[in-house]
Amino acid sequence: MSQVVSYELKGNVGIISVNNPPVNALAQVVREGILNAVNAAQEDASEAIVLSCAGRTFIAGADITEFGKPPKEPGLPEVLSAIENSTKPVIAAIHGTALGGGFEVALACHYRCAIPSAKVGLPEVKLGLLPGAGGTQRVPRIAGVEAALDMITSGNPIAANKAYGMGLLDQVLESDDLASAAVDYAQKLVAEGAPLKRIRDIAIDPASVAPDFFAAARKRLARRARGQIAQDRIVSCIEAAVELPMDEGLQRERELFRELVTSAESAAMRHIFFAERQAAKIKGLSKDTPTRNIGKVAIIGGGTMGGGIAMCFANVGIPVVLLEINDEALSRGMDIIAKNYGITVKKGKLTEELMAQRIELISGSTDYGDIADVDLVIEAVFENLELKQEIFAKLDNTCKQGAILATNTSYQDVDAIAAATSRPQDVVGMHFFSPANVMKLLEVVRGDKTADDALATAMKIGKKIGKVCALSRVCYGFIGNRMLGGYGREAQMLLLDGCTPEQVDSALERFGMAMGPLAMGDLAGLDVGYKARQARTDLPDDPKLYRMGTLLVEMERYGQKTGAGFYRYDPETRARMNDSEVETLIKQQAQELGIEQREVSDEEILARCFYPLINEGALILEEGIAQRPSDIDVVYVFGYAFPVAKGGPMFYADQVGLKNVYDKICEFRDRYGEQYWRPAPLLQQLAEAGKTFAEWDAERS
């Protein structure tokens, strides 16, 4: 037996145990060990075989570090064939999670049992892949075609009791003592003379599937895929499970799996998978850095953002005090929280009981004295530096020593805010994204004097409340909002050059953005950007810059909240509609500015909007604002809905080729001037050397 796979005979039951921490991934040594154990069991006195795992979980998936590399024998299909063709019943004993290849192993077994807390699933779609070892062929045979399609295209895990109801499990064990309960179950099967149930022997009647089922599924999934192709290929595989014999269906599955493994989309999604985990690691900060205990939190400001942040902590059982300026504002803030929870309950994602428990954890106050004992306070008021400094001075006088004082600022100087206190070492930026109770990104901003333990605590608590954390140093707008300036600027410049709002937004939405920049501006409120620009002194005196956004605000067209911005909006559904009045205004403004309008290609729209992101990202890396290029990708995928199938702006730049990006920026510089199109030195350096951002990062590591 392999060192990570053991086999022993207990009475009449052979027990295969996998021990490959941390998640028992299906590395080559695990596959080989299981295969050898199954073969050995065919020759001994066992009457049944239990496949179980040590540690905290069943096999939680494939070893994705093997993707894209030459295959190592034995392949997973060979292992599953040995399990399926065993002359003795093989029972998968599941705890923790059985995911991906791990669940495919369980599906090849003749029986599956699990403890109540276990979950099963096929999450490959989240890496731009599909189950490649029979998952798309076996699940529809035992759970039905529709259930299989929903399960595999969503990639979400399913709790044991639900999986049992779907037919995916044969038994939910009453005891959490998996070792003995699984053996008891195996012995019961032997005593009953239970047959060798092979899922492959189940046939699906094609007549049981509606004639237009797969066509409708493709159409529905295409709307949400945003540049991903895996969903379409999954439909093809399940279609094969209905129409083809098992072996031909498996062959079709393998063909499409191999296509996806080598696809640009899957490469991008695997990049983000690793980048998310890497972003949590702070260079130069030991994993053993102590953290401070966070048992109680205060939020300053009960608006939409503050209320959303309060919900994040209440959702994980941490008491929160919401502090507002007066009773009216406090009541309004508490009502927003209750309304948001109520929406979640209506959607069936939360019970009334849990909602009540969470609301109970959030108390309100207008007195700073009521937050003197909190361990963490997060300021979430209007973006005004003087106001924030005033609040932090109060916090300095009120909060206990050792409390972390965090600002949710999107733009302001964290060091200037920290300077308003006598303890800048306790001050950190915690930039949430709206709505804070939904959006996954948390930009943690490290000030010049932020203590290591305060920083480590902010990252740790961010993870606890379900956020993806990325570290930024201090600069205007940090990583995400600083880069966003050029994206929004060019979206509006393109209008003057001849585009309609719909043309700009549609090009970017076809690329995979959830919403184009002009529609997003309408959603956020055009007045928000207008006020932010008014507060800045560093913007060039250029009549073209944000001209359309400024004019629309001055016409009191703020976007969705006023029913009109770059588009008009249906008052009931908020569906956006093109507005001829805006299109006429754009043409008039272009004429006044002496700009000759022309046809603009989608290719130019993408380059004009995305290449400023990439160029600014290169400057951010040079300045040390971001730790690594992949951190920037994490910020944009989780905070700005950059399509995961493109991997984030820096990964996308590497795929396009930095020389191509640099040359196009130089072309725009020659056409539009250096004011907005000056290539970043790092971009130029890498382009001329024929290198990528990833290679540059690897050389520095």
Residues with catalytic function: 104, 124
Q: Sort strands 90-94 and 97-99 into parallel, antiparallel or unpaired.
A: unpaired
Q: How many C-beta atoms surround the C-beta of residue 353 within 10 A?
A: 9
The span from the CA of 609 to the CA of 628, in Å, is 22
The span from the CA of 71 to the CA of 73, in Å, is 7
The span from the CA of 273 to the CA of 630, in Å, is 10
| Polymer length of the chain | 701
Q: How many C-beta atoms surround the C-beta of residue 667 within 10 A?
A: 12
**Nearest by Cα to 97 from 116, 118, 112:** 118
Residue 473: beta bridge partners? 446
Identity (one letter) of the amino acid at 179?
A
**Nearest by Cα to 620 from 488, 475, 489, 486:** 475
The span from the CA of 638 to the CA of 645, in Å, is 12
**Nearest by Cα to 217 from 158, 140, 135, 102:** 140
- Which phi and psi angles does 593 have, rounded to 5°? -85, 0
Q: Which residues, other chains included, contact 211 with Cβ-Cβ below 8 Å and sequence gap of 6+?
A: none
**Nearest by Cα to 476 from 525, 433, 414:** 414
The alpha carbon dihedral of 49, 55, 60, 64 has a sign of negative
The span from the CA of 487 to the CA of 481, in Å, is 10
Q: Does residue 245 have a cis bond before it (omega within 30 degrees)?
A: no
Q: What is the DSSP string of 522-565?
A: HHH-HHHHHHHHHT-S-S---TTTTHHHHHHHHTT--BGGGTBS
**Nearest by Cα to 501 from 419, 564, 459:** 564
The span from the CA of 546 to the CA of 521, in Å, is 12
Structural contact between residues 284 and 362, judged by C-beta atoms closer than 8 angstroms: no
**Nearest by Cα to 439 from 524, 504, 373:** 524
C-alpha dihedral, 495 to 500 to 502 to 503, nearest 10°: -80
Structural contact between residues 51 and 8, judged by C-beta atoms closer than 8 angstroms: no
